[in-house]
Amino acid sequence: AQTVTQSQPEMSVQEAETVTLSCTYDTSESDYYLFWYKQPPSRQMILVIRQEAYKQQNATENRFSVNFQKAAKSFSLKISDSQLGDAAMYFCAPYGNSGNTPLVFGKGTRLSVIA
Amino acid sequence: SQTIHQWPATLVQPVGSPLSLECTVEGTSNPNLYWYRQAAGRGLQLLFYSVGIGQISSEVPQNLSASRPQDRQFILSSKKLLLSDSGFYLCAWDIQGARVGYTFGSGTRLTVV
């Protein structure tokens, strides 16, 4: 079973600044992946970044990076140089490597970007 | 390339009427298929998933049902809609073992009146 907690229902950031969205999770699987999804006002779900739990190196995709703390089961998303287009709901989701359990999403964090 | 189609985009239905939402995937075979529901401003709730034709797993028993009549077709149905069925419905797919996350359709906004 997998559970996800996103403790920040809403966050805001000034344009060009940096913001960090938090996520903690629990999983019964020994090998797993972690995803951050973005849902802009269009409501299309977009994969932002993917982390393999067995890798110690934190994943990076352009302005998006993660801080993965496996022992603490923490998977935060850092957005650098925030842009107006980053305004969206952000969802964290663990995925067990067995493939037997579908993605379970957190309740999301709504990010506002202030010009 | 793989694409996912979901329709209709918007639907307004009276209470007690039937429902049929359709999702199809192109460009791949034997995908895993998923139906999620999202209430206004809230997280995604997994409703059903399928790992093959005729194989449906239900996560939230209620007046909704799902079927997979063809390999790349996933249908969400209801015989009689309730007000509480209103929400945003998302279909998604992935390939067993791919571990690259799900690809989502564009969603259906259902309003039950």
Predicted local distance difference test score (pLDDT) of residue B82: 95
Residues of chain A found within 8 Å of residue B41, distances taken between Cβ atoms: 110
pLDDT (tens digit per residue) in A36-91: 999 999 999 999 999 998 888 999 999 999 999 999 999 999 999 999 999 999 99
DSSP states of B45-76: EEEEEEEETTEEEESS-SSEEEEEEETTEEEE
Quote helix, strand, coil % in chain B, to nearest 5.
Answer: 5, 60, 40
pLDDT (tens digit per residue) in B1-48: 889 999 999 999 999 999 999 999 999 999 999 999 998 778 899 999
- Is A99 within 8 Å of chain B by CB? yes
Interface test with A, best of B99, B100, B103, B109 (most A CBs within 10 A): B99
Predicted local distance difference test score (pLDDT) of residue A99: 66
In contact, A53 and A34? CB cutoff 8 Å: yes
- Is B40 within 8 Å of chain A by CB? no
